Structure 1
Amino acid sequence: MSTLQAVLRMHQIGIVNLLRPDRLIKAAGNNARLGPQAALVEKAAAEHPDLPALTDERGTWTYQQFFQRSNALAHALRKVDLPAKSIIGVLARDHRGLALAIAGTARAGRRLAMLNTGLAASQLAEVMKRENVRFLMYDSEFADLVDGLPDDLPRYLSWEDDGYVRPAGLLSVDEFTAAEPTTIPLPLPDKPGGFIILTSGTTGLPKGAPRTKVSPLASAVIADRIDFPRQGTAVIASPLFHATGFGAWTVGLSLANHAVLLRRIDAERILAALAEHRAHMLVAVPTVLNRILALGPDVIAKYDTSSLRTVFLAGSALPPDLCERFQNTFGDVLYNVYGSTEVAVASVAQPHELRRSPGTVGRPPVTVKVALYDANDAAVTEPDVKARVFVRTGIPFEGYTDGQHKQIIDGYMATGDQGHFDADGLLYIDGRDDDMIISGGENVYPLEVENLLAAREDVLDAAVIGVDDADFGTRLRAFIVPTDESARDPQEIREFVRANLARYKVPRDVVFVDDLPRNPTGKLLRRELPAGPL
């Protein structure tokens, strides 16, 4: 029944057309052998060849141009002699080169590892070795990271910055594919090569989360509770190498949408792109919303964003105050998505739900179920009781490439988060299991304190960690990014928390900083905050 509901929902959204079974059968066959991205690019090129597929700072590709370029790359990759089970890697920001790598590698039947642009050189080398990456496409800005890799690794430039001085013999991907045919189709691979998305790595080296076969229902899971445009425009300000941007872009392909890709995430540039392209959708992380609002009403008013209907938001927690301030400025457009690389989309809060309950992550989409279990693995069904969050989804997780797995209970997979349902069935995330701080025998989840601090007008961003304490075992330390007008008074901050939360949630230390360490998807890197003596 859930599968039928998902198929009908995909028809309603426009992802499939049940009235054209001929196209449906062909698309399903291509998806089974190519994977969704390459199959969807081919489908859009056949049905809408002249529609814009993507725009970056170097111009626009139509779907026909995108398909032809990916076909040429596939021809070139098929000729590369690589050891068995080798992986193609791409280290790139959001632009045509990354989109091309995704579609072209899939068309060649090769597996692609999308590498995180925030990796340090030593991390990159370790991930490359663990994932068996034996061929690399990369942006020139990451040349220093790549220089430390083995000399015999084939490598090509996916993007070349102006003024970059190329080493002798290094070719671009365009040069690598220049002699290849663009319109002669390759035989379909026997099975999809699949892809590997790295986890956020908030607690250490990112793990590889592989996807070989992606359920055709995956688009329904993502789009069920989100207003996607159809042959419209989405500005993507969340990296394609991570699940949020990748998933939103993939659904956009199924609807023949125009993706505006940004190499650099700049708040005013985002507003300019929304206005210039009359965009229906913005894909972003919460920190981006904060930066947009920080521009102030005069700058925001310079750009006509009246076409904006949907802000697809994921990647990190959405503070309730930020939710309210953004919707007060741009209207009821926020869709707060909760999920992970492993379980994909677990729940979505729609704009009306966020108006009523700012910060909620809403309800599960079609085919997905969310359950709570306590520390003894017993189901928790009462409202307002915090417990561990588990998800059952129709998009199977294949396990990490290092052989580790998440806990599974009754077919539900652990997300690593604590949460609760309210009396109306809306889900809330209270914090990460491994973020919990025990101070003086009391359990504290930093997110509650962080949300309180972030609601202050003189605070741009906030983080809370636990540090060693001789009396309490652990005490709370707050890091605050203040506004220019902030008084920067630690005692006033402590008194503010004490007036709003329990005594044991008051940070003993208050540290003012210029910025907080976050990865490209907006997740806070707590391990990089100083926990030693001040």
Structure 2
Amino acid sequence: MAPSSMPGSIADAARSALEIGTGTARAAIALTRSGVVRPIRPERLYGMGKALVRYGHSATAAFCVGAARHPYRLAVVDDDGVETYAELDARTDRIAAALLASGAAPGGTVGILCRNHRAPIEVMVAAGKAGADVVLLNTGLSAEQMRGVADQQKLHTIVTDADFLDIVPDGPQVVRTDGDGPGTLNALAESGGPAELPFKPERSKMIVLTSGTTGTPKGAKRPHPSSLAPAASILSAIPLKAGEPVLIAAPLFHTWGNAALLLASLHGSTVVLQRKFEPRAFLDVVERRRATTIFAVPVMLQRVLEHVGESGGWAGPHRPRIVAVSGSALPAAQALSFMDRFGDCLYNLYGSTEVSWVSIAGPADLRDAPGTAGRAPAGTTLIILGEDDQPVGPGVEGRVFVGNDLPFDGYTGGESELEVRDGLLGTGDVGHLDDEGRLHLTGRADDMIVSGGENVHPGPVEDLIANAEGVREVAVLGVDDEQFGQRLAAYVVRAEGSTLDEDAVRELVRADLAKFAIPRDVHFLDELPRNQTGKVLRKELPGQ
């Protein structure tokens, strides 16, 4: 009997089994195709196996495997030079020993407050060798927020760039990443070696801060994968290749940048880093280092497009195969403009700190359905639930729920804010699936407003304005209204030379959407306030 003709519950179970089997096969194919699974010289197997036994499926294990498998390959290239896998392995042994001697491990917590360069990678790997937990600290935190995080996460040590010393609180041991004197990472490394490290240290936890804009950000515990299934899921949709140089422009302290580091180290790649993002330098390093894969956030692509203009593209003949973005919404017009200038290499991953990934849109999806968040990759369950908590069909809007191999382990403070239905986590977003299984997002469930008795989502209004000529970027959200309860407000950044005015913005919406969706407030700004991953800081907008 075919699954489609079975009774409901049995048919559903059969379909699930078929989907899981198909996903597993796709995952295995993806790992082999990317080069993660390939023949290995026998004399190198011992060191690789030992690393996996000691550190599990973690970044620490991946870099140790790299040291055994290709010790003289460049592990990191940054603004200060280069470091091989063997050099990184030896240096992180010494840093791990120093963390143990200082009391930061085992069982302690190390905060990393750094831009993108080799030091945060060294500290992450060393913490795994010593059994210390790691908190990835957002470089945009205020001094008050840093004090709250240090207390909340019980930070023993903070490793920081000199740029951020003014927000580092009293109490934790402070280690600077620059220089060679006392209190620096170099001095810490010199003091730690050589020493005996624990064979199987306590499992180091990775804690990523949520992107709250007010108060103390919550810490989300990121689990170490128990297998290669999570990586295989991403690889089923984004075709990375082993050994190819990877430029990580996304901040390493963010979930997306951290995921990029895990994928790159798994592939034995050379990780290319720059402390600060600047479009010209970005294009130059892609060409100079022959980066074939780039991990970025959407606002970076916008800045690159503005830099190169209408006829620009890559800095030289080299062409990356993959430009993968996540961390904030990718506007449809921006996706198409980028591919028109830089080729069909763009991939957009939709996810969050809590749920990891949900869906991935490849170049074909972004061409065929601009604005889509893509499809669920291998091993991922994606459903849309209606108000009755039942799945809805294509084209019907509802709340987005997902299940995959790497959900987070909860918040460090024990808070529980996510919806859970039958083991699936709610993303907090509203959207629908099209007939091809592609996800289209309307916006955050809690962004919906009620204006004069009508439910209004800001998302479609924002998308409509964003795609208009003369608009560089826009944010639309609800504000209080004495007469109607709430109303929409639009915050618009005009493109250079644009003469767009308030009435023109309203006419754009009036021509396509219902009257109650027209923003009564239209503010023109020089730029939208954003955090390091490109999310708009809504509390900093006028009138909020």
Both structures adopt the same fold (TM-score exceeding 0.5): yes
Structure 2 unmatched runs, 5+ = 1-20
Task: State the partner residue of 2:90.
Answer: 68
Deviation by residue 1:220-256 (Cα, 9 ceiling, x = unmatched): 1222210213211121110111111111121111111
Deviation by residue 1:183-238 (Cα, 9 ceiling, x = unmatched): x6623234421211112225754221113442222211222210213211121110
The yes-or-no answer on 1:109 pairing with 2:125 is no
1:473-512 map, 5 Å: 473-512=485-524
Which letter does structure 2 place at the counterpart of 1:341? T
Task: State the partner residue of 2:270.
Answer: 258
Measure the CA separation in 1 of the matches of 2:420 and 2:48.
33
Deviation at 1:425, TM superposition (A): 0.9
Of 116-125 and 456-465, more deviation after overlay is shown by 456-465
Measure the CA separation in 2 of the matches of 1:391 and 1:22.
42
Of 10-19 and 473-482, more deviation after overlay is shown by 10-19
Measure the CA separation in 1 of the matches of 2:414 and 2:42.
40
Measure the CA separation in 1 of the matches of 2:321 and 2:53.
33
Q: 1:124 to 1:469 in 2, by over 3 A?
A: same
SS of 1:359 mapped into structure 2: coil
Task: State the partner residue of 1:279.
Answer: 291
Q: 1:408 to 1:20 in 2, by over 3 A?
A: farther
Task: State the partner residue of 1:196.
Answer: 207
The yes-or-no answer on 1:337 pairing with 2:352 is no
The answer as to whether partners of 1:16 and 1:24 remain within 8 angstroms in 2 is no
Task: State the partner residue of 1:91.
Answer: 113
The answer as to whether partners of 2:107 and 2:131 remain within 8 angstroms in 1 is no
Task: State the partner residue of 1:352.
Answer: 364
Measure the CA separation in 2 of the matches of 1:84 and 1:98.
19
Task: State the partner residue of 1:14.
Answer: 35
SS of 1:155 mapped into structure 2: strand
SS of 1:239 mapped into structure 2: coil
Which letter does structure 2 place at the counterpart of 1:63? Y
The answer as to whether partners of 1:32 and 1:213 remain within 8 angstroms in 2 is no
Deviation at 1:100, TM superposition (A): 0.9
Measure the CA separation in 2 of the matches of 1:83 and 1:188.
14
Of 55-64 and 5-14, more deviation after overlay is shown by 5-14
Measure the CA separation in 2 of the matches of 1:298 and 1:456.
16
SS of 2:415 mapped into structure 1: coil
Task: State the partner residue of 2:305.
Answer: 293
Measure the CA separation in 2 of the matches of 1:59 and 1:246.
21
The answer as to whether partners of 2:311 and 2:341 remain within 8 angstroms in 1 is no
Task: State the partner residue of 2:409.
Answer: 398
TM-score by length of 2: 0.90
The answer as to whether partners of 2:449 and 2:455 remain within 8 angstroms in 1 is yes
Q: 1:190 to 1:171 in 2, by over 3 A?
A: closer
2:160 to 132, 138, 141: 138
Which letter does structure 2 place at the counterpart of 1:50? Y
Measure the CA separation in 2 of the matches of 1:8 and 1:514.
48
Of 17-26 and 478-487, more deviation after overlay is shown by 17-26
Deviation at 1:459, TM superposition (A): 1.5
The answer as to whether partners of 2:464 and 2:508 remain within 8 angstroms in 1 is no
Q: 1:298 to 1:365 in 2, by over 3 A?
A: closer
The answer as to whether partners of 1:488 and 1:512 remain within 8 angstroms in 2 is no
Deviation by residue 1:387-426 (Cα, 9 ceiling, x = unmatched): 1111111114211111122221111011111111001111
Measure the CA separation in 2 of the matches of 1:458 and 1:407.
39
SS of 1:178 mapped into structure 2: helix
Q: Which 4+ stretches in 1 moved above 6 angstroms?
A: 18-26
The yes-or-no answer on 1:158 pairing with 2:177 is yes
Task: State the partner residue of 1:186.
Answer: 197
Measure the CA separation in 2 of the matches of 1:342 and 1:26.
34
Q: How many residues align?
A: 520
Task: State the partner residue of 2:422.
Answer: 410
The yes-or-no answer on 1:243 pairing with 2:255 is yes
CA RMSD of aligned residues (A): 2.3
Measure the CA separation in 1 of the matches of 2:243 and 2:196.
25
TM-score by length of 1: 0.92
Measure the CA separation in 2 of the matches of 1:194 and 1:17.
29
1:375 to 387, 390, 401: 387
The answer as to whether partners of 1:271 and 1:305 remain within 8 angstroms in 2 is no
Q: 1:18 to 1:501 in 2, by over 3 A?
A: farther
Which letter does structure 2 place at the counterpart of 1:392? G
The answer as to whether partners of 1:222 and 1:247 remain within 8 angstroms in 2 is no
The answer as to whether partners of 2:350 and 2:357 remain within 8 angstroms in 1 is yes
Task: State the partner residue of 2:64.
Answer: 42
Q: 1:305 to 1:141 in 2, by over 3 A?
A: farther
User: What is the percent sequence identity of the aligned residues?
Assistant: 38
The yes-or-no answer on 1:457 pairing with 2:469 is yes
Measure the CA separation in 2 of the matches of 1:131 and 1:21.
43
Measure the CA separation in 1 of the matches of 2:506 and 2:486.
17
Measure the CA separation in 1 of the matches of 2:311 and 2:135.
39
1:514 to 520, 526, 530: 526
The answer as to whether partners of 2:354 and 2:408 remain within 8 angstroms in 1 is yes
SS of 1:316 mapped into structure 2: coil
The answer as to whether partners of 2:346 and 2:362 remain within 8 angstroms in 1 is yes
Deviation at 1:326, TM superposition (A): 0.7
Measure the CA separation in 2 of the matches of 1:506 and 1:122.
38
Measure the CA separation in 2 of the matches of 1:31 and 1:435.
44
The yes-or-no answer on 1:229 pairing with 2:251 is no
Task: State the partner residue of 1:163.
Answer: none
Deviation at 1:39, TM superposition (A): 0.6
2:439 to 398, 419, 427: 427
Of 76-85 and 501-510, more deviation after overlay is shown by 76-85
Deviation by residue 1:126-165 (Cα, 9 ceiling, x = unmatched): 111111112111111011101xx22x421110246xxxxx
Measure the CA separation in 2 of the matches of 1:293 and 1:334.
14
SS of 2:446 mapped into structure 1: helix
Deviation by residue 1:77-108 (Cα, 9 ceiling, x = unmatched): 11112598431111111111111111111111
Deviation by residue 1:244-292 (Cα, 9 ceiling, x = unmatched): 1111121111111111111111112111111111211111111111111
Structure 1 unmatched runs, 5+ = 161-165
Measure the CA separation in 2 of the matches of 1:22 and 1:376.
59
2:189 to 161, 169, 177: 177
Which letter does structure 1 place at the counterpart of 2:323? V
Of 76-85 and 371-380, more deviation after overlay is shown by 76-85
Q: 1:466 to 1:22 in 2, by over 3 A?
A: farther
Deviation by residue 1:344-374 (Cα, 9 ceiling, x = unmatched): 1211111111110111121112211111112
SS of 1:65 mapped into structure 2: helix
The answer as to whether partners of 2:313 and 2:341 remain within 8 angstroms in 1 is no
Measure the CA separation in 2 of the matches of 1:122 and 1:131.
14
Measure the CA separation in 2 of the matches of 1:52 and 1:19.
19
Q: 1:212 to 1:310 in 2, by over 3 A?
A: closer
The answer as to whether partners of 1:200 and 1:521 remain within 8 angstroms in 2 is no
The answer as to whether partners of 1:360 and 1:426 remain within 8 angstroms in 2 is yes
Which letter does structure 2 place at the counterpart of 1:192? R
Task: State the partner residue of 2:4.
Answer: none
2:398 to 354, 366, 387: 387
Task: State the partner residue of 2:482.
Answer: 470
SS of 1:379 mapped into structure 2: coil
Q: 1:455 to 1:298 in 2, by over 3 A?
A: closer
The answer as to whether partners of 1:233 and 1:259 remain within 8 angstroms in 2 is yes
Q: 1:114 to 1:155 in 2, by over 3 A?
A: same
Q: 1:48 to 1:19 in 2, by over 3 A?
A: closer
Which letter does structure 2 place at the counterpart of 1:353? D
